[in-house]
Amino acid sequence: MEWTIQELAARAGITSRTLRHYDRVGLLVPSRVGVNGYRYYNPTAVARLQRILLMRRLGMGLPAIAGVLAEEVDALDGLRAHIAALEEERDRIERQVRSVRHTLEALQAGVEPRMDVMLAGFNDLYKDEVISRWGEHAFQVSNDWWHGKSLEQQRAWKQDTEDLVAAWVAAVKAGDSPTSEHAQSLAARHVRWLSQIPGTPTAEGDRERSIEMVSGIGDMFVDDPRFAAMYDDEAGARFVRDALHTYAHTRM
C-alpha cells in the first residue's frame, strides 16, 4: 500500500509543500517517484513521518530531528521512547482534567476549591524526573518554594531563566568552546541559579551530590529532546552539557 504526496499530506494534516521540503533536506524521502514525477510513500515512510511529527510536537527543530534519526540504531527503541513520552503527556493532561473538574464541581456546590488541587497537573511537568533523580523531598520542597512566590516573583524567575538560556545559545552561536572562560562563567551562573532552588544538593551545600546533579542535568539536556529544542538544537544542548561537565569536575 502507498499514498501519493497529496494523500499523505491530507491524512497527516500538513501540506504537500512541507513534505517536499522534508524531501529536499533529506529528512523524509519518498518511497519511490513515478515516471510522472509524483512522489509515493509506503508504510515505512509513513512511520518515519509519524516520528518526525512527534518530535516536531516536542518543539525540536529539523536539524535536531535529522540528527536523532541518523544516530538511531534501532527504530523500535525510538518508538518505545515516543510512547513513553506520550504516556507521560497523557497522564499530565488527565491530572489537569481532574483539577479543572474539581474547580467546577466546588464552584457549583458553592464551596471554595482547594488551591493545591486546582494547580495539580499544571505545575509538575518534571515531577517524576525530579523524584527519580533526587527524591520526593527535593520535589516537594522546590514545589512549595515555587508556589510560595508571588506572581511577580515567578515572572522575574522565569525571566532570569530565559536570560540564562539565551546567554548559552549566544555562546554557541559565537563559536565558544565549552571549556572557554566565557562558557565556564555561564556554567558557574547556571550552578548559582540551581542553588537558589530549595531541596537541591546545590542549595544544601552537598558538594559530592551537587557535582553528580550538575553532571546529570547536563546529560539530561542531551538525552531529552525537550531540552535540545530549548537550547536551539542538539548541538546547543551538547555544548551546555560539556560546559557543565567541565565545570562540575574542575571547579566545584
Q: How far is CA 20 from CA 4, 24, 26, 38, 148, in A?
A: 12, 6, 10, 11, 50
The secondary structure of residue 74, as a DSSP letter, is -
What radius of gyration, in Å, describes the C-alpha atoms of the chain? 22
Write the pLDDT tens digit of every residue in 89-101. 777 677 777 777 7
For residue 117, pLDDT over 60 is answered with: no
H helices of 58-176, where? 62-71, 75-108, 115-118, 127-134, 136-147, 151-173
67-75 contacts at long range (C-beta below 8 A, 24 or more positions apart): 67/233, 67/234, 68/225, 68/234, 69/27, 75/47, 75/51
For residue 124, pLDDT over 60 is answered with: no
Report which of residues 143 and 132 the model is more confident about.
Answer: 143
**b vs e for 22-41, b when ≥16 Cβ sit within 10 Å of the residue's Cβ?**
beeeebbebeeeeeeeebbb
The predicted structure's pLDDT at residue 73:
66
Q: What is the mean pLDDT of residues 112-141?
A: 61
The predicted structure's pLDDT at residue 41:
95
The candidate with the shortest Cα–Cα distance to 145, out of 221, 79, 185, 199, is: 199
For residue 121, pLDDT over 80 is answered with: no
Write the pLDDT tens digit of every residue in 146-190. 767 776 787 788 889 889 999 999 999 999 999 999 999 999 999
Pick the range with the lowest mean pLDDT from 87-101, 112-126, 136-150, 208-222: 112-126
pTM of the model: 0.52
The predicted structure's pLDDT at residue 154:
74
Write the pLDDT tens digit of every residue in 29-86. 999 999 888 999 999 899 889 889 888 877 677 888 888 888 776 777 777 877 777 7
Residues 219 and 52: their CA atoms lie apart, in Å, by: 23
Q: How far is CA 57 from CA 4, 60, 76, 82, in A?
A: 24, 7, 19, 11
For residue 116, pLDDT over 90 is answered with: no
Q: What is the mean pLDDT of residues 100-124?
A: 66
The candidate with the shortest Cα–Cα distance to 137, out of 199, 196, 208, is: 199
Write the pLDDT tens digit of every residue in 227-252. 767 888 888 999 999 999 999 999 98
